[in-house]
Each structure stands twice: as C-alpha cells, then as structure tokens.
Structure 1
Amino acid sequence: MAEKVKKEKAEGSKGNILKIIIIILLIAVLIAGGTAAGYIFATKMKPSQTTTATNQAAVNIKTFSLDEFLVNLKADNTSGYLKTKIYIGYDGDNKDYKNLPTELEDKKPILRDAVNSILRNKKTTDFNEAGVEQIKKEIKDRINPLLKEGQIENVYFYDIIVQAQ
C-alpha cells in the first residue's frame, strides 16, 4: 500500500511538472507573438522616408505673438467673455519677408485693434471648431492688407477660454 502511494505521488509530480512546462511554453509563445505583432504594428505606423523628406522640405513657419486678448463678446440674451492668446505665422524662409518681424512689432497696436474688432463682434456660439476656423480666416484677411513687408500664412490660437453668463 505504501508502495502504491509512492507510485501515485511520483506520477502526480510528473503530471504537475508537465503542466508547468506547458504553461511556461504557452507564456513564452504569447510573449513572442505579442512582441512580433507590436513590431509589425510599429513599423507600419512609422513614417516612410518620402514623408520625412517632404516634411523637411515644408515651409519654415515663424510665429509672432499678438499677446493675450480679453474681450466682451456680442450679446444675444446673455453676455460672454473671451480670453485668448493669438499668434500669427509667416514664412520664415521667404527672403522677401526679412523685414516682416520688424513691421509686425511696429504695427502690433494696429494689428491688435484689428483682431479686437473681430473678436468683439463674435458670439459665444461662434467658438466651435468650424467657427474658430472662420475667425482665423477673418483675422488673416484683416491683417494682411495692413502689411507691406510680407503676408501672414496662418493664425494660431494658443488658448481659448469662453465664458457665457
């Protein structure tokens, strides 16, 4: 009887060792598969050489800060406030624009006044995604005629905080 118990324990421990080995092999296969899948996914997401070359050939955009704006918005039935910081961007590689930074600095009060007049005529509901793009276009269209040394390419909102009351 004692011999039978020893024999069962020996067979049981061999079964346990076999189960542990199978589990370890399964874990190793899962880790290897996950690593391979991650590598394949990462290489597909990596930009190609042509994309990188295109990005390097892109325009060198320089920015100029028009500082912070705090304005009352046009009221419907409620009043609202807008607090934002705006930057304007221009082509930094364009040799014709070499005096543009000086002109922007000299005309900063005029540019801020133009932007203020646009922002004061907006409602709180105008500051959605499509509305902000329209506001950027209005600002660009208002500022460019004021400039003689170059043109701005884009308008960037650093912060936009709208409070409706």
Structure 2
Amino acid sequence: MAKKDMEQTEQPEGKKSKLPLILAIVGGLILLGGVGVGAYFLGASGKEQAPEDAVIASSTPAQKAPAGKIGPMVDVSGFIINILDRDEIRYLKAAITLEADSEAGALELQERQAQVRDAILLLVGNKTFDELRDLQGKMQLRSELIAQINTMLQQGQVKNIYFTDFVVQ
C-alpha cells in the first residue's frame, strides 16, 4: 500500500505541475488590478483639483467679472495673421469676442472696429510661435489685448476677451 501512495504522488518527468504557474498568473492579475484601482482613485482626485488651481493661478483683475453679470458682447470677425518664426512661415487664425462693461462701451467698440482690428493685428503680428503655443502665452496675449484696446476707448472698457477660434500653424 505504501508503494501505491508513492506511485500516485510521483509524476512522470515529462509532466510538471502547472499549479505554480497558475498561482503566479492569478497573483499578477490581482496585483495589476490593485494598481489600476489605486491609480483610478488617485487620478480622479487629481483631476478635480487641477482646474481650481489653474483658475486661481491664471485669473487677473481684468478678467474677473461679477458673478452672473455678463456684459454686452461684440464679435470681431476672424483674423489670419502672420506670426514670427525663424524656421518656417507660420500664421494664426483667430476669432475674438469682446465683452464690454456697458452698452455704451459695446457701441463704441462697434464704431471703432477698424481701430480695434488694427491694434489686434499689430500686437499679434509681433508675437512668436513659441509665445502663442501654450496656455500661458494665450493668457498673456489676452491681457495685452485688453490693455491695448482699453487705451483707445473713452466711453467704456473691455472686461474680457474670448477666443472663439484659435489655430496656430
């Protein structure tokens, strides 16, 4: 009887047990699942905090408007502007909407549309591709445009500028 037990526990040399391989695969899958779940929860909490940080860091006094109060909007038709670059010919295609602080300001913006377009063309035409390709460059351009346009206005002010189209190529 002892020989029968030994014969049953011994395996031929050609066949090895697959149990260690199966345990290793199952353990690896459990480990990967745990890492995936952890990354999901850490990533979800990071995404919620990033926009708040970006808004706080990028807001300027010229961009802050009273909550719920949107001023009159004036569309400035699309632009195609050559921008500076050493290696290639590059251009910016943009459309802009200006938010005025009052109806009188919006009317003045419409009356001075040629001057506003000229100021935008001159300011943007002196920018380089590197200055316009990232968010910080666009925010800087926005604040410069607000300051430039507000210097020519007498009856109102531009509260904000919205880029409704912005393609740099």
* Same fold at TM > 0.5: yes
Gaps of 5+ in 1: 1-55, 92-96
Corresponding position: 1:66 with 2:66: no
Q: 1: distance between equivalents of 2:160 and 2:70?
A: 12
Gaps of 5+ in 2: 1-65
Instruction: Name the CA shift for 1:160/1:57 in 2 (closer, same or farther; >3 Å).
Output: closer
Question: What does residue 119 of structure 1 align with?
Answer: 124
Question: What does residue 83 of structure 1 align with?
Answer: 93
Q: After the TM superposition, which residues 8-27 of structure 1 pair with which residues of structure 2 at under 5 Å, given as runs?
A: none
Q: 2: distance between equivalents of 1:101 and 1:151?
A: 9
Instruction: Name the CA shift for 1:57/1:158 in 2 (closer, same or farther; >3 Å).
Output: closer
What SS does the corresponding residue of 2:165 show, helix, strand or coil? strand
Paired residue type of 1:160: F
Q: After the TM superposition, which residues 120-135 of structure 1 pair with which residues of structure 2 at under 5 Å, given as runs?
A: 120-127=125-132, 128-135=134-141
Q: 2: distance between equivalents of 1:103 and 1:120?
A: 24
Q: 1: distance between equivalents of 2:82 and 2:150?
A: 25
Taking structure 2 as the reference length, the TM-score comes to 0.57
CA shift for structure 1 position 57? 5.1
**1:162 maps to which of 152, 163, 168:** 168
CA shift for structure 1 position 99? 1.8
Q: 2: distance between equivalents of 1:58 and 1:71?
A: 34
Does the Cα contact within 8 Å between 1:64 and 1:101 map onto a contact in 2? yes
Q: 2: distance between equivalents of 1:143 and 1:75?
A: 25
What SS does the corresponding residue of 2:85 show, helix, strand or coil? coil
Paired residue type of 1:88: L
Does the Cα contact within 8 Å between 2:97 and 2:163 map onto a contact in 1? yes
Q: Deviations over 1:49-106 (max 9, x none)?
A: xxxxxxx953223211111010110122222011000111123xxxxx3322221111
Does the Cα contact within 8 Å between 1:76 and 1:123 map onto a contact in 2? no
Q: 2: distance between equivalents of 1:158 and 1:98?
A: 21
Does the Cα contact within 8 Å between 2:105 and 2:158 map onto a contact in 1? no
Aligned Cα RMSD in Å? 1.8
Does the Cα contact within 8 Å between 1:64 and 1:88 map onto a contact in 2? yes
Taking structure 1 as the reference length, the TM-score comes to 0.59
Does the Cα contact within 8 Å between 1:67 and 1:86 map onto a contact in 2? yes
Number of matched pairs = 104
